[in-house]
Amino acid sequence: MSSSGRAPRRIRRAGFSLVEAVVSLVILGAGLAALLGPIVTATQHSGDPMVRKQTLAIAEALLDEIEAKPFANPPGGFVGAPTTANRPLFDDIGDYNGFTSAGIFTIDGAAIPALANYNVTAVAVTPTALGAITAANASLITVTVTGPGGEAVSLSGFRTNYF
């Protein structure tokens, strides 16, 4: 006891002990790992939607190209194999039946280097009745394009013989 009759005061020190600091770092690390896990996964797969969207855009463009052609072969029109080299000669929807390409090309046959890993794997032009319209006057057009990861996108549309 001191001269005043009281017990001496203990001086309390401010701050954290080593054990408290280690425990708080472990808890903080676990929380950050739980928070960053989904972000890392999302970042790793962030390019996937772009590839799918590009594959879809290629299929849409080719389907639009085909649907814009006449329904029937015009007199003296193209008759031949559905190859990339012959594509500029295609003058009706039937010319595209069986068309495939390794890589994507312009309608003039020029390769598009940025799209070399995309492929037109199938084009089918099938006479199909559409309600009251007979199969002789309607065709179902199906375009299938495969992207770099092997994921295929198929689009279909009808083209009728209207006057």
17 pLDDT band, cuts 50/70/90, is confident
Residues 162/64, Cβ–Cβ less than 8 Å: no
pLDDT-wise least confident of 5-9, 21-25, 95-99 = 5-9
- Sheet with 138-146: list strands edge to edge: 101-102, 119-127, 138-146, 152-160
**pLDDT band at residue 40, thresholds of 50, 70 and 90?**
confident
* Residue 103: burial class (beta carbons within 10 Å; 0-12, 13-18, 19+): middle
Nearest partner of 143 among 85, 82, 60, judged by Cα: 60
What gap in Å lies between CA 125 and CA 70, rounded to an integer?
13
- pLDDT number for residue 63: 96
C-alpha to C-alpha distances, 73 to 14, 63, 82, 96, 161, nearest whole angstrom? 91, 18, 14, 12, 11
Tokens for 134, please give them.
């007979």
pLDDT digits (tens, 9 = 90+) for 114-163: 999 999 999 999 999 998 999 999 999 999 999 998 889 999 999 999 86
Percent of the chain whose predicted confidence (pLDDT) is above 70: 91
Residue with tokens 């972000």: 39
Q: Give the pLDDT band of residue 47 (cuts 50, 70, 90).
A: low
72-90 burial code (b ≥16 CB/10 A, e <16): eeeeeebeeebebeebeeb
